[in-house]
Amino acid sequence: MSPAAWTLSSLLALLVAATSAPARAQAPSPSSPATLAMPTLLEPAEVDYPPDLDPKTLEGHVDLRLTLDAQGTVVEAELVASTDPTLGDAIRRSALRWRFTPARRDGTPIAARILHRHLLRANDAPSTTPPPASPSTAPRPLPPPAASSATPTATAPAPLEIAVQGLSRADRLRQSASAVQVVETERARRESADLGQLVARTQGVGVRRSGGLGSTTRFSLNGLTDDQIRFFLDGVPLDMAGFGLGLANVPVNLVDRVDIYRGVVPIHLGTDALGGAVNLVTDDHDRRTGASASYQIGSFGTHRWTLAGRYHHAPTGLFAAASGFLDLARNDYTIDVEQPDDRGRFQPLQARRFHDAYAARGASVELGLVGRPWTRRLVARLFVTDHDKELQHNPTMTVPYGEVTHGGSSLGATLRYEHTFPLAGAPLSVSALLGAARRTTHFTDLSPWVYDWLGHRVRPRVRPGEMGNGPSERTLQDDSFLARLNLGWLLAPEHTLRLSIAPTLNAGQGEDRLFTGEHDPLAAPRDTFRVITGLEHQAELVDRRLQNLLFSKHYLLRTTSEEVVAGAPPRPFDLTTQQLGAGDALRFRFTDWLWTKASYEYATRLPRPDEIFGNGVLIVPNLDLQPETSHNVNLGLTAETAPSTAGSFRADVNGFLRDIDQMIALLASDLVSTYANIAAARALGVEAALGWTSPGEHLALDGNVTFQDIRNTATEGSYARFAGDRMPNRPWLLANASARLQHRGLASPNDEAALTYYVSYVHEFFRSWESSGQRQSKQQIPSQLLHSLALTYVLRGDPLTTTSSLEIQNLTDETLYDFFGAQRPGRAIFFKGTLEL
C-alpha cells in the first residue's frame, strides 16, 4: 500500500469510528469458587452524637458502605441512606474508628467493601452479635428497619452484604501479560521526594539530573535513554500535556501512579518507542469528591505548592476537577570547581551556584460526565503551564555562565470519550482522544561579560554571548494536534480484538531575533505527520491462568521542511518513511501468588524533525536518516504472597535483551553537527527486586538491583573501532534499598507514623569509550552512594486528613554527579505538609 493510500485509509477509519477504546482486560477468575468469610465487628459501635440530639429519643436506621483494608480497619465510610441526615453524618464519622476482623478469601485476609445498617431500636440489652449471613459478592437488599418500642439502644452494625473488592487498576495491570512495572505514588505524595527520585528507586530505571530542581534529566530504562523512551500523562504525550521539561519535574502530588512499560509498548498508547514508555496516571478517581493541598519548603530556596480538587455528582454523573502547582528554587548549593588565580593557574574553589534559579507554574481544569447510559466517560481538559530556568554552566561544568536563560510555556486542551456498545451480541469498547497544544520555548544568551564561579564580572567579552557561538535570542513554536482511536471487541469471553489508530500532526517554526540575513534558518517550517496503527488479539486460556497478547504495528512518518542555503532561496524537502513491527506478550499464572511473563517486540523509533532537517543553525540536515529499530525481549518471574502470620513477601526477577540497529547519534565537527545512523548496540541484563512486610505492616523491607551490559556492536561506520566496548556515559550497575518502620495509633486511634530509610547506589562508569586512551587517564563518573531519611506523620480525621513529613536527602553529604560529571546538590533538608478532604 502506498503512503498516501495508507494515510487516507487511516483517516477514513478515524472519521468513521469517531470514538474508541481497548476493552478492559478481565481480572483472572479462579477455576473453582472461593470461600469467603465476612468481617465481624471487634469493638462496640460507639457514636459521637451531636450535642442537640438525645440518643434515647432516636429511632430509625443509618445505612453505610464501609471500605475495609486487609487488617479490618475502616478506611472509608460513605452514607447511603438515613432516617435523619444529622444522625447519619454523626454515625458515618464514628464509623472511621470501628475495627473489624478482616474479610478472608480461602483464609487469606483481603480488602473488602461491606454494606451495613446501624439500627436504633428498643432492647433490654444491645446485641453485639450480627445475625448470620452467608458471604456473597452479589448485592443483596437491606432488610427493613426493626420495629421500635420503649427505649431505643444502638446495636452493633450487622454486615448484611459483602462485596469483596476486585483487583485495583494498578494490580490488574501489574498482573497482566504486559511487560510493565507499576509504581504507586500514595506514600511518595506524603514525602518530599519528587517524581524522578520515586521512579529511580525502581529496578531497571535510572534518573540522573544535571543539577537541582528544574534541571535537565536523563531517564534510562534497561540501558536505553532520551527519546528512545516515550513519556505520557494519562496517555497524552508529556510535551502535549504541559510538561515539556520532562518526567522528573512533574509534581508527584498530581500523579496517582506511574506505569513503566519495559521495551514492549501496548498499542493503546499509539506511539513509536525503541526502549519502552512511561505513563503518568492522574485520572483514576473521576467518581470521587475531594480536595488536597500540599506545600514543601527546603534547602536551596526550594518551595513547591500543589492544589487539587474534584467533584462528582452521582445522580447526574457530572464530574469536575481542577489542579494547579507552583515550583520555585534558587538551586544555590555548594560546588567544587577550579578557578584561575592572578597568574592564570587553576586553583580548587568551593563556591555557591549563583545563576541556577528555576520557576514553574501551571493549572488545569476538567469537566465532563461519567457513568451515564450513553457514555462511560466524557471529559474535557484545559491546561496552561510556564517555566523559566537560569543556566549556570556548560555541560561538563568547566565554564560558568552568568546571564544565559531558557524557558517556555504550553497551552492546550484534550477531549476524551469512552463507552461500550453492544455489537452482534458482543460488547464493543470505544475510546477516543482528541488533543491540541501550542508549546513555545525561548533561549537568550546576550551577556557582554565573562563571569567567574563567584558571580563576579571578570572582563568584557569581545563578542556578546557566553556559550561561545555569539549572541543569541531565539524563540521556537510548536503546534501539535493528536487524535487516537482505540476499539476493543469482545469476540468471546476469552478473546478480545483491539484496533488502535493514532495520527499526530506537528507544525514547528521559529525566529532568531538577531539574524540579519535574508532567510532566517529558524523560520523554515518543520512539519511532521505520523500515523501509528496497531492491531492486537488478547486470549485468556486455561481457566484464565494464561493471558496472551499478540500484536502488530505500522509506522508512517511524513516530514516536510525547507533547506536554507546561503545565497540561494530555500529549497523544499519532503520525506516519507514507513516501518512494520510486531510482538507478543504472555503471562502464565501458576498460582494466585506466582506467575511468569515473557514478551517480545520488534520496536521502532521514528526520527524527530530536527534530527532529519537540522535546526537551521549548527545542526545540518540528513535526509537519509533511517528509523532506529530494536529486537526487545523480556523474561520474568513474579511472586506476591498475601498477608499471613509470617507477613507478606514479594519478589520479581526479569532478564532483558535489546538488540539495536541504526542507532541515531549526533556527530560533531569543528563547525557543524549532524544526526546519523552510526552504530548498532546490544543491551543484555537482569533486574531483581525483593520485599517483605511484617504482620500488621509495622516493618517493610525492599531492595532491588540492576545489571545491564550495554555494548557497541557496530562493524562499520564511525564507531566500528570501538566494537565490543561498553556504550559510554551509561551506568551498568544500580541498586536501591529501603526500610520502613510504621506504627498506627501512636497518639490517636486514627494516626500513623512512619520512619523510612532509603539508599541508592550507582557504580562507576566511563564518560567516553573504554578502549580509547590510557585507563588511568580516562574520565569517569565515580561510584555514588546516596542515603536519605524520611519521617512522616498522618492524622486521619473526618473530613480532613493531614500529613507532615521531614526528609533529609543525601544524608552523608556525598558528592554526586550527573551523566557528564556536573555536580549535583549535597545534603538537603525538606519539610512537607499535605491536607486531604
Q: What is the residue-wise DSSP string for 293-322? A: EEEEEETTTEEEEEEEEEEEETTTTEEEEE
Give residue 565's pLDDT. 62
Rounded percentage of the chain residues whose pLDDT exceeds 70: 83
Task: Categorize the per-residue pLDDT at 284 as very low, low, confident or very high, splitting at 50, 70 and 90.
Answer: low
Mean pLDDT of 492-503: 93
Q: Which three cell numbers stand for residue 748?
A: 490517636
Of 56 and 355, which is predicted with more confidence? 355
Instruction: Give the chain's end-to-end CA distance (angstroms, integer).
Output: 56
Give residue 253's pLDDT. 84
Which residues have CB under 8 Å from 509's CB, separation 6+? 476, 477, 522, 523, 524, 525, 526
Give residue 567's pLDDT. 60
17 and 145 co-located in one domain: no
Give residue 85's pLDDT. 63
Give residue 153's pLDDT. 33
Residue 752: its H or E element = strand 751-762
**Is-contact 395 450, C-beta < 8 A?**
no
618 and 759 co-located in one domain: yes
Asked if residue 20 has pLDDT above 60, the reply is no
Residue 600 sits in a domain whose CATH number is 2.40.170.20
Q: Is residue 93 assigned to a domain? A: yes
Domain boundary residue, one of 281, 303, 326? 281
Asked if residue 516 has pLDDT above 90, the reply is no
216 and 347 co-located in one domain: no
135 and 240 co-located in one domain: no
Domain boundary residue, one of 164, 191, 214? 164
578 and 447 co-located in one domain: yes
In whole angstroms, what separates CA 53 from the centre of its chain? 49
Mean pLDDT of 771-775: 69
123 and 213 co-located in one domain: no
Task: Categorize the per-residue pLDDT at 51 as very low, low, confident or very high, splitting at 50, 70 and 90.
Answer: low
Task: Tell if the pTM clears 0.85, that is, is over it.
Answer: no
- Sign of CA pseudo-dihedral 330, 333, 339, 342: positive
Distance CA 290, CA 310 (A): 5
Distance CA 503, CA 500 (A): 10
Residue 630: its H or E element = strand 628-640
Residue type for position 427? P
Q: Is residue 645 assigned to a domain? A: yes
Give residue 342's pLDDT. 80
Which residues are 358's β-sheet partners? 329, 389
Mean pLDDT of 49-53: 60
Residue 807 dihedral angles phi and psi, to the nearest 5°: -135, 135
Domain that holds residue 232: 174-281
240: helix, strand or coil: helix
- Residue 687: CB atoms within 10 A of its CB come to 24
**Is-contact 506 19, C-beta < 8 A?**
no
Sheet with strand 236-237: strands edge to edge: 180-184, 257-262, 276-281, 229-233, 236-237
Q: Is residue 179 assigned to a domain? A: yes
Give residue 165's pLDDT. 46
Q: Is residue 67 assigned to a domain? A: yes
226 and 148 co-located in one domain: no
Give residue 669's pLDDT. 54
Domain boundary residue, one of 145, 164, 183? 164
250 and 393 co-located in one domain: no
135 and 266 co-located in one domain: no
Q: Which three cell numbers stand for residue 282?
A: 492522574
Task: Categorize the per-residue pLDDT at 786 as very low, low, confident or very high, splitting at 50, 70 and 90.
Answer: very high
Give residue 420's pLDDT. 87
Q: Is residue 169 assigned to a domain? A: no
Q: Is residue 420 assigned to a domain? A: yes
Task: For residue 344, give the DSSP letter.
Answer: S
Mean pLDDT of 426-450: 93
Asked if residue 10 has pLDDT above 50, the reply is no
Supply angle C-alpha 242, 246, 251, rounded to 5.
70
Mean pLDDT is lowest, of 302-306, 380-384, 523-527, for: 523-527
Residue 696 dihedral angles phi and psi, to the nearest 5°: 80, 0
Mean pLDDT of 514-536: 86
Q: 470 vs 227, 476, 519, CA distance in Å?
A: 29, 18, 18
Q: 733 vs 196, 223, 821, CA distance in Å?
A: 18, 10, 17
Residue 758: its H or E element = strand 751-762
Which residues have CB under 8 Å from 309's CB, separation 6+? 290, 291, 292, 321, 322, 323
Residue 61 dihedral angles phi and psi, to the nearest 5°: -155, 160
Transcribe 479-535 into DSSP letters: EEEEEEEEEEEEEETTEEEEEEEEEEEEEEEEEETT--SSS-GGGS-EEEEEEEEEE
**Burial call 399-420: b when 16+ CB within 10 Å, e when fewer:** ebbbbbbebbbbebebebbbbb
Give residue 510's pLDDT. 86
- The per-residue pLDDT for range 571-623, each reduced to its tens digit, is 787 888 899 999 999 999 999 899 999 999 999 999 887 787 765 555 677 87
Of 122 and 412, which is predicted with more confidence? 412
- The per-residue pLDDT for range 543-575, each reduced to its tens digit, is 889 999 999 999 999 988 876 665 667 778 788
Distance CA 573, CA 577 (A): 13
Distance CA 741, CA 791 (A): 10
Q: Is residue 380 assigned to a domain? A: yes
**Burial call 213-244: b when 16+ CB within 10 Å, e when fewer:** bbbbbbbbbbbbbebbbbbbbbbbbbbbbbbb
Residue 79 sits in a domain whose CATH number is 3.30.1150
Give residue 663's pLDDT. 87
Which residues have CB under 8 Å from 14's CB, separation 6+? 483, 485, 501, 503
Q: Which three cell numbers stand for residue 752?
A: 500513623
- The per-residue pLDDT for range 154-181, each reduced to its tens digit, is 333 333 344 444 456 788 888 899 999 9
The domain total for the chain is 3
- The per-residue pLDDT for range 58-103, each reduced to its tens digit, is 666 788 888 887 777 787 888 777 776 667 777 887 787 777 778 8
Mean pLDDT of 27-48: 59
143 and 229 co-located in one domain: no
Q: What average pLDDT is seen over the chain?
A: 82
- The per-residue pLDDT for range 122-135, each reduced to its tens digit, is 433 333 333 333 33
What is the number of helices (H) and of strands (E) in the chain?
A: 5, 44
Of 321 and 170, which is predicted with more confidence? 321
Mean pLDDT of 231-243: 88
Distance CA 282, CA 496 (A): 26
- The per-residue pLDDT for range 325-373, each reduced to its tens digit, is 999 999 999 999 988 888 878 899 999 999 999 999 999 999 999 888 8
107 and 40 co-located in one domain: yes
Task: Categorize the per-residue pLDDT at 50 as very low, low, confident or very high, splitting at 50, 70 and 90.
Answer: low
Going by C-alpha positions, the residue among 693, 677, 237 that lies closest to residue 433 is 237
Mean pLDDT is lowest, of 29-38, 705-714, 795-804, for: 29-38
Task: Categorize the per-residue pLDDT at 639 as very low, low, confident or very high, splitting at 50, 70 and 90.
Answer: very high
699 and 820 co-located in one domain: yes
**Is-contact 767 781, C-beta < 8 A?**
yes
Residue 249 sits in a domain whose CATH number is 2.170.130.10
Q: Is the peptide bond before 799 cis (omega within 30 degrees of 0)?
A: yes
